[in-house]
């Protein structure tokens, strides 16, 4: 019984939250890695792209709520998600036209693209703060829990409860659908294959008649979809605050690099690795170990490796280890 | 890379003209707003110029992309606290030595792990040994460190609750800030230099966040979010000037005169440092070492074929540039007389400095300084301008309507938009900046 209690505690506080967080990071890292693979630069504006997409979705949600539309037990934001994706895609394509295309045609160095993305980051940050403000926004509605802690206790007779929130369930399901769709697209469709070819070898791809403008266009649309979805899921699960989204840049980049920049599978793996380490290292294992140890015994300390304020240090630590020992990432990325 | 059509003469006059223009901006602020405001902006402009010089060393001389400026600046601020605030004897008695011992043990763990890694032959045994050393060391570190920290933080937490500093003159903190920042830069440089430039960017972004997290949470070090206030000054206090008979008799409005005197004194100190730094940077730029740096920047392969140690030179300039940022950070905390970890925002302390360097002219020390002054002035002044714009926009709206309220509230965010726009415009239409590299 104690073993089961330990397992439930672990699932409640580590496994479920980390899986949801990992899915959100993976979607974010997929966007970063796609831009890196096809457009060949690290997009510092990605966190703010997520914030922008989420903001539009929140506006859509408010509009739907005001019109009395709801999605039953599911959050209304899911209905507004397509709108968020569409507007973000338009913004991305517009940004590419106005900013990035010039440097692409001039074959500028990658770092120039990065600096340009800093400018884009400033502007998008300004737009988001201008339109929605800097405060926390909670926009999750519908049923809050799939399993409530009390119901779980009554159902199983265990001492520990297990809560499974709707937003966590939705995160996992939506992320799964998005990833399957993305891989189907990249591996099975003609456009997807041309994107991979373009990523592997630009010159050869151009030689075989692939239209680079089309590849870039499709990439931005996919990136907008991934970023908006990641942002909305994160916002549903926690809350929306522009500055938090900006700070997500670090774990997302860490996930993409750890997995191997430019490698979509690696981005997913990296996302979950970062999420599980972050939650695992900052969780106090006292209760879990207490259940596993002898009867009537509790460990003295909290058994928490690092305080939660240092969660950035975890992604950073993993990043450093990977950079030191395997700079191309776990799954082989594009280049060092 | 000199432009064939511009002789050095016209280049110099353009530089002078631009600096004169910036001077007009500041003097205009003095006339239109107040001399007090103008001096406040000017002092921060001096510090911004020094930060921009530091970033320009890394980016302009060597092409290194450092987006962790905020962290190095904050380390400088920490140095100001550690050097100049008074020591807290009760806290030292409660657990000072144990805290230090804990830190030493932590450092020894890392050294031991590195030694184990380098000495043992590769294989599963080595991985296991390193893991054992790390976990064992971490456990020992926590058992020594945690109770000591708790004891220190329990000492009168409302007013102290930290170990305090050395109680030395605050001027000494400025070079100390440089040293602290250089140490952090060494660690980052050792791991992330030599890999592709994006990795250095991410690594510096990360270390900056971690440094801020440490400052916010390690109360024993610098009181965390409780802030350290009342850091001693290198210049006289206003109240002392106002109490001075001779000073009061000399001015008709002694209160304003005293604040302006204090600000002028700070400005004088900062100008001395800025001039020294510009002089050193220009010397370095024109020396064989500077030429080597540019050769490495422009073509790493051929430079290393000529026998230059690219990685060591990159590490060197990365440390130097970060040290300058640390120096500026210590100066800033001295000017504010307080360390407030919550105010360190990457947009303000990292990316804004980048805008200064790009706009001013990367690869040109004068350009970086000009960018520092100009962009800082804009950053401060865009907010009232944005407010005026919004007031103009909402003039015909019904007062108090939600839209006009929202627009007025959001005026503050105009500065982010403006900075982004300036950066993109300069990068596109004048990529070499206002004062291009010679």
Q: A324 and B191: CB-CB below 8 Å?
A: yes
Q: B203 and A320: CB-CB below 8 Å?
A: yes
pLDDT classification of A334: cutoffs 50, 70, 90: low
B chain contacts of residue A307, beta-carbon cutoff 8 Å: 217
- Chains A–B, number of C-beta pairs less than 8 Å apart: 129
Q: Is the pLDDT of residue A71 over 90?
A: no
Cα-based distances in Å from B217 to A29, B144, B275, B341: 28, 18, 36, 9
Q: Could you report the predicted ipTM of this complex, rounded to two decimals?
A: 0.90
Q: B195 and A323: CB-CB below 8 Å?
A: yes
Q: Which tens digit of pLDDT belongs to each residue from A253-284? A: 999 999 988 889 999 999 999 999 999 988 88
B286 Cβ contact partners less than 8 Å away, ≥ 6 residues apart = none
**Min distance B106 CA to chain A CA atoms (Å):** 14
Q: Is the pLDDT of residue A321 over 90?
A: no
Where is average pLDDT lowest: A20-34, B55-69, B182-196? B182-196
**Min distance B406 CA to chain A CA atoms (Å):** 9
* pLDDT for residue A272: 95
**Min distance B209 CA to chain A CA atoms (Å):** 7
Q: Given CATH 1.20.120, say whether it is the number of domain A2-325.
A: no
A chain contacts of residue B149, beta-carbon cutoff 8 Å: none
* pLDDT for residue B5: 42
User: Stretch B188-206: mean pLDDT, rounded?
Assistant: 83
A chain contacts of residue B416, beta-carbon cutoff 8 Å: 122-123, 125-126, 129
- CB proximity B196 to A under 8 Å: yes
A66 Cβ contact partners less than 8 Å away, ≥ 6 residues apart = none
* pLDDT for residue B86: 87
Q: A110 and B198: CB-CB below 8 Å?
A: yes
* pLDDT for residue A162: 87
Q: Is the pLDDT of residue A76 over 80?
A: yes
A chain contacts of residue B379, beta-carbon cutoff 8 Å: none
Q: Are B326 and A97 in contact (CB under 8 A)?
A: no
> Which of these, B185, B190, B217, B179, lies nearest to B204 by C-alpha position?
B185
Domain assignments of chain B as residue spans, ordered by start? 8-87+164-429, 88-163
- CB proximity B117 to A under 8 Å: no
Q: Nearest-5° angle of CA B418, CA B424, CA B426?
A: 100
- CB proximity B197 to A under 8 Å: yes
pLDDT classification of B9: cutoffs 50, 70, 90: low
B94 Cβ contact partners less than 8 Å away, ≥ 6 residues apart = B151, B152, B154, B155
- CB proximity A312 to B under 8 Å: yes
For A116, which residue in chain B has the nearest alpha carbon?
Answer: B424
- CB proximity A256 to B under 8 Å: no
For A125, which residue in chain B has the nearest alpha carbon?
Answer: B416
pLDDT classification of B10: cutoffs 50, 70, 90: low
* pLDDT for residue B7: 45
Q: Which tens digit of pLDDT belongs to each residue from B129-169? A: 999 999 999 989 988 988 888 888 888 888 877 888 888 99
pLDDT classification of B309: cutoffs 50, 70, 90: very high
Q: Is the pLDDT of residue A91 over 90?
A: yes
User: Stretch A7-34: mean pLDDT, rounded?
Assistant: 93
A chain contacts of residue B63, beta-carbon cutoff 8 Å: 111
- CB proximity B65 to A under 8 Å: yes
**What are the start-end ranges of the H helices in B155-243?**
173-192, 197-217, 219-222, 238-243
SS3 A147: strand
A chain contacts of residue B419, beta-carbon cutoff 8 Å: 122
Q: Indicate the residue of B207, B354, B428 with minimum beta-carbon distance to A118.
A: B354
- CB proximity A39 to B under 8 Å: no
**Min distance A48 CA to chain B CA atoms (Å):** 12
Q: How many CB atoms neighbour CB A134 within 10 A?
A: 12
A chain contacts of residue B192, beta-carbon cutoff 8 Å: 323
Q: B209 and A336: CB-CB below 8 Å?
A: no
Which of A35, A126, A278 is the mutation pick for testing B, counting most B CBs within 10 A?
A: A126
A 136-195 residues with CB < 8 A to B: none
SS3 B107: helix
Topology of domain B8-87+164-429 in CATH is: ABC transporter involved in vitamin B12 uptake, BtuC (1.10.3470)
Strand partners, A165: A145
- CB proximity A247 to B under 8 Å: yes
B chain contacts of residue A42, beta-carbon cutoff 8 Å: 198, 201-202
Q: Which tens digit of pLDDT belongs to each residue from B84-125? A: 988 888 888 888 888 899 999 999 999 999 999 988 888 888
- CB proximity A289 to B under 8 Å: no
* pLDDT for residue B2: 40
Q: Are A99 and A121 in contact (CB under 8 A)?
A: no
The pair phi, psi for residue B357, each rounded to 5°, is -65, -45
- CB proximity A302 to B under 8 Å: no
> Which of these, B54, B226, B410, lies nearest to A125 by C-alpha position?
B410
């Amino acid at each position: 019984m104690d073993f089961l209690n330990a397992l439930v505690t672990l699932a409640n506080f580590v496994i479920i939250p980390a899986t949801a967080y990992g899915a959100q990071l993976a979607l974010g890292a997929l966007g970063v890695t796609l831009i890196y693979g096809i457009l060949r630069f690290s997009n510092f504006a990605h966190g703010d792209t997520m914030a922008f997409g989420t903001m539009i979705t929140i506006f859509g949600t408010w509009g739907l709520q005001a019109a009395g539309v709801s999605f039953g037990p599911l959050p209304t934001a899911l209905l507004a998600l397509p709108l968020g994706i569409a507007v973000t895609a338009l913004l991305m394509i517009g940004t590419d036209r106005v900013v990035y295309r010039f440097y692409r045609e001039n074959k500028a160095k990658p770092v120039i693209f990065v600096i340009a993305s800093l400018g884009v980051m400033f502007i998008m940050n300004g737009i988001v703060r201008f339109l929605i403000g800097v405060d926390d926004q909670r926009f999750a509605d519908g049923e809050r829990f799939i399993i409530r802690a009390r119901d779980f206790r009554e159902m199983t007779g265990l001492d520990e409860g297990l809560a499974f929130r709707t937003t966590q369930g939705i995160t996992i399901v939506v992320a799964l659908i998005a990833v399957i769709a993305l891989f189907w697209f990249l591996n099975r469709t003609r456009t997807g294959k041309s994107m991979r070819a373009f990523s592997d070898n630009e010159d050869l791809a151009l030689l075989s008649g692939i239209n680079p403008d089309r590849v870039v266009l499709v990439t931005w649309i996919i990136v907008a979809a991934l970023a908006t979805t990641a942002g909305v899921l994160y916002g549903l699960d926690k809350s929306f605050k522009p500055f938090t989204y900006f700070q997500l840049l670090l774990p997302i980049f860490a996930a993409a690099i750890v997995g191997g920049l430019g490698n979509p599978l690696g981005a997913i793996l990296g996302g979950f690795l970062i999420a599980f380490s972050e939650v695992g290292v900052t969780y106090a294992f006292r209760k879990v170990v207490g259940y596993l140890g002898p009867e009537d015994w509790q460990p003295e300390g909290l058994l928490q490796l690092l305080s939660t304020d240092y969660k950035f240090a975890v992604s950073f630590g993993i990043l450093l280890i990977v950079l030191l020992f395997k700079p191309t990432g776990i799954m082989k990325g594009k280049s060092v | 890379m000199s432009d064939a059509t511009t002789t050095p003469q016209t280049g110099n006059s353009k530089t002078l003209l631009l600096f004169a223009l910036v001077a007009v901006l500041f003097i205009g602020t003095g006339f239109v707003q107040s001399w007090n405001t103008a001096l406040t902006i000017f002092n921060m402009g001096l510090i911004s110029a020094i930060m921009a010089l530091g970033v320009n060393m890394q980016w302009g001389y060597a092409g290194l992309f450092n987006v962790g400026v905020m962290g190095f600046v904050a380390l400088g601020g920490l140095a100001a606290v550690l050097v100049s605030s008074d020591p807290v004897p009760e806290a030292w008695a409660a657990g000072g030595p144990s805290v230090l011992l804990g830190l030493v043990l932590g450092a020894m763990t890392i050294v031991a792990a590195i030694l184990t890694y380098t000495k043992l032959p590769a294989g599963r045994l080595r991985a296991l040994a390193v893991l054992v050393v790390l976990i064992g060391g971490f456990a020992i570190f926590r058992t020594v460190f945690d109770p000591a920290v708790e004891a220190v933080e329990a000492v009168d937490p409302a007013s102290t609750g930290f170990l305090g500093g050395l109680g030395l003159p605050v001027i000494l903190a400025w070079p100390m800030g440089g040293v602290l920042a250089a140490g952090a830069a060494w660690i980052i440089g050792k791991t992330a230099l030599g890999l592709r430039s994006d990795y250095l960017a991410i690594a510096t972004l990360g270390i900056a966040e971690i440094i801020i997290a440490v400052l916010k949470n390690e109360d024993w070090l610098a009181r965390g979010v409780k802030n350290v206030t009342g850091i001693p000054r290198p210049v006289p206090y206003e109240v002392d000037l106002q109490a001075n008979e001779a000073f009061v008799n000399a001015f008709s409005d002694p209160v304003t005169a005293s604040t302006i005197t204090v600000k002028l004194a700070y400005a004088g100190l900062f100008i001395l440092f800025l001039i020294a730094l510009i002089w050193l940077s220009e010397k370095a730029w024109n020396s064989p070492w500077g030429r080597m740096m540019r050769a490495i920047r422009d073509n790493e392969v051929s430079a290393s074929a000529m026998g230059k140690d690219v990685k060591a030179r990159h590490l060197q300039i990365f440390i130097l540039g970060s040290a300058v940022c640390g120096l500026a950070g210590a100066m800033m905390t001295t000017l504010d007389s307080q360390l407030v970890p919550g105010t360190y925002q990457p947009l303000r302390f990292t990316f804004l400095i980048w805008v200064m360097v790009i706009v001013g002219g990367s690869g040109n020390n004068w350009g970086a300084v000009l960018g520092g002054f100009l962009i800082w002035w804009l950053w401060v002044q865009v907010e009232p301008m944005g407010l005026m714009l919004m007031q103009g926009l909402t003039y015909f709206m019904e007062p108090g309507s939600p839209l006009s309220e929202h627009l007025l509230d959001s005026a503050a965010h105009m500065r982010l938009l403006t900075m982004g726009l300036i950066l993109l415009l300069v990068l596109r239409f004048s990529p070499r900046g206002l004062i291009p590299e010679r």
